[in-house]
Amino acid sequence: MSDMSKPIPLNTMKTEAPDNAFRFEDEPRSGRLGFLEILKIAWRSIRANMLRSILTALGVIIGVAAVVALVSVGNGVRQNVTNRFSSFGTNLLTIQSGQSGFGGPPGLVRGGATQTLTLADAEALRDLKDTRIEGIAPASQSNGQQVKAGSNNTTATVIGSWPDYEVVQNAEVQAGTYFTTDDVDKRRRVAVIGNDIVTELFPEAEASSVLGQSVKISNVSYDIVGVLKEQATAGFNDPNTNIIIPISTFSQRLERSEYKGEPTVRTITVKVADARDVSAVEADLTTLMANLHEKTSSDDYDFNIRNQASQLESVTAVFSTLTLFLGAIAGISLLVGGIGIMNIMLVSVTERTREIGVRKALGAKPRDILSQFLLEAIVLSCAGGLIGIGIGMVIAYFSTSALSVPFVVSIPSMVLAFAFSAAVGIFFGFYPARRAAKLDPVDSLRYE
């Protein structure tokens, strides 16, 4: 029939026309409906039933918004946790009392656990003089201590440690110095104070000008030897309200608990110089600690050693899984949205049976009708996808700021959600569209 789709010879209406007159028969015809035309038809029918179209797309909107918001918030939380961990440094090993198996953050002491870690353990580690180890810092901690200077007072976290605290915790001084090993041995009352403590106790004073002044902790006076640099809030304490004092002074003046006659410490943190040695050092420390505590089986260990890197890995893995899981749940709602589109499209095909018949009588091919309805479904779901991305971003923005985690715009999750919604449109739009395309023109013209 190829010759029949060419321009039809004009053989009726023999009106003599001038040469330059418009004759549509002379114009080129593609013999097929242009994509823009199909889009226009689809858009018109969406617009004609605006409320219904919006309600239909709502399933997809909610689905996509949920995916985008959840993934974004999930990523924000994950990034926040990652930030906290990396501010501790990833080549740290933290020794704590109690058996391992609890993946909490370092420094968090479990209630009820007997403190079996002692200063003697830390000294034994130091005596190894292992060159792979850059620093060792035992730490005891007292939260919510009232600190005074003159008439001003504030609350601080007082940490007893060794001078190595500086390298191990990346807690450098902006003014002054850390206390020395000698200060530790002689239990001197000296303190390195956080930046916020300065602001609270010595308003409008320069950091360097407070050196040599004294602060009172539990009515004991300490000389300020250093002021810590301002640090980003990381971990579960604000490092800017920390006061670091020699651990010997801490156990003498603030808190003293003993285990087998030795003062206990909450944690011993070891900084490994080269991140590649972390596992080897961890194994050696485990053996040494087991010997010190006279434990033969790992089931009896009364200590545990945490590796920051592997902990970070396991925490991010947990968050990734969680994010994926939530995303999958949101994906299901997207699927439900797709079924909604299919449902409405089926209704729409039935409703417009006569229109389909008329279009076919006027020369619409099955593929024209198929494209019209398919495109209608795709436009609905893609518009739903775009609106959903917008709403999801807004939700993510407000949730992340409420949770005070970073607002992470996850482009892949948006692209994925949008592609998925387009796929939903194609998948769930195809069956109704094919049904429309297959309608018999005679029957559909007669349809009331």
Partner 1 sequence: MSSAVLSLKNIKKAYVMGETEFWALKGVSFDIHEGEMVALMGPSGSGKSTLMNIIGILDNPTEGDYILRGENVSDLDEFDRAEIRNAYIGFVFQAFHLLPRLNLLENVEVPLTYAGYAPWVRRERAMDMLNRVGLADKWRNLPSQISGGQKQRVAVARALAMNPALLLADEPTGNLDTQTGNEIMGLFHSLNDEGVTVLIVTHEAEIAQQTKRSIRLRDGLLESDRGHEQQRPILHEAVFGGAP
Inter-CA distances, 360 with 7, 39, 215, 371, Å? 20, 18, 91, 13
Q: In the Cβ-directed half-sphere of 387, how many Cα atoms lie within 13 Å?
A: 16
First to last CA, the chain: 33
Nearer to partner 1 (CB atom), residue 48 or residue 411: 48
Stretch that binds partner 1, among 181-189, 312-320, 323-331, 357-365 (CB under 8 A): 357-365
Binding residues among 368-397 for partner 1 as defined by CB under 8 A? 368
Cβ at position 341, least distance to partner 1 in Å: 21
Decide: is 39 part of the binding site for partner 1 (CB under 8 A): no
Extract the tokens encoding 349: 């095909």
336 in contact with partner 1 (CB under 8 A): no
367 binds partner 1 (CB under 8 A): yes
What is the residue type of 254? L
Residue 24, interface with partner 1 (CB under 8 A)?
yes
In the complex with partner 1, the residue whose CB is nearer, 406 or 441, is: 441
- Binding-site size for partner 1 (CB under 8 A) equals 42
- The CB-of-431 to partner 1 minimum distance in angstroms stands at 19
Treating both helix axes as pointing N-terminal to C-terminal, what angle do 366-402 and 411-438 enclose, rounded to 10 degrees?
A: 150
Using rule CB under 8 A, residue 339 touches partner 1? no
Q: At what angle do helices 50-88 and 366-402 cross, to 10 degrees?
A: 40
**Could you give phi then psi for residue 159, rounded to 5 degrees?**
-120, 130
Question: Residue 402 Cβ, how far from partner 1 at the closest point, in Å?
Answer: 45
Please, what is the minimum distance in Å from the beta carbon of residue 377 to partner 1?
18
Give me the least distance between CB of 47 and partner 1, in Å please.
Answer: 8
Nearer CB in complex with partner 1: 213/350? 350
Pick the closer one to partner 1 by CB: 14 or 129: 14
Does the footprint of partner 1 cover residue 33 (CB under 8 A)? yes
| Residues in contact with 291: Cβ distance below 8 Å, sequence separation at least 6, in sequence order | none
Which of residues 7 and 212 has its CB atom nearest to partner 1 in the complex? 7
Interface map 429-448 toward partner 1 (x if CB under 8 A): ------------xx--x---
Instruction: Tell me the window of 71-79, 168-176, 190-198, 362-370 that interacts with partner 1 (CB under 8 A).
Output: 362-370
- H or E stretch including 157? strand 152-161
3-state secondary structure 282-314: HHHHHHHHHHHCCCCCCCCCCEEEEEHHHHHHH
Choice between 306 and 359, CB closer to partner 1:
359
Interface mask (CB under 8 A) for partner 1, residues 126-165, using x and -?
----------------------------------------
Residues 287-316 that bind partner 1 (CB under 8 A): none
Query: Does 31 help bind partner 1 (rule: CB under 8 A)?
Result: yes
Distance CA 406, CA 387 (A): 23
CB of 386 to partner 1, least distance (A): 24
Give residue 363's region: left, alpha or beta (phi > 0; psi -120 to 50).
left
Task: Give the integer Cα–Cα distance in Å for 427 and 312.
Answer: 40
Question: What interhelical angle do 35-48 and 366-402 show, nearest 10?
Answer: 60
Specify the 3-state DSSP secondary structure of 158.
strand
Residue with the two structure tokens 């080549």? 91
The CA distance from 125 to 117, in Å, is 12
Tell me which stretch binds partner 1 (CB under 8 A): 4-12, 243-251, 322-330, 332-340: 4-12
Residue 193 vs 375, nearer CB to partner 1 = 375
Measured between alpha carbons, how far is 287 from 269 in angstroms, rounded to an integer?
16
Out of 51, 362, 402, 411, the residue judged to bind partner 1 by CB under 8 A: 362
8 binds partner 1 (CB under 8 A): yes
Alpha carbon separation from 377 to 52, 188, 343, 348, 382 (Å, rounded): 13, 77, 11, 11, 8
Contact with partner 1 (CB under 8 A) among 266, 271, 306, 360:
360
CB atoms within 10 A of CB 213: 16
DSSP for residue 211: T
Residue from 361, 394, 403, 419 in contact with partner 1 (CB under 8 A)? 361
Instruction: Write out the H or E segment, with its range, that includes residue 60.
Output: helix 50-88
Tokens of 81: 């946790």
353 binds partner 1 (CB under 8 A): no
Binding region for partner 1 (CB under 8 A): 1, 4-5, 8, 10-15, 22, 24-25, 27-34, 37, 44-45, 48, 354-355, 357-368, 441-442, 445
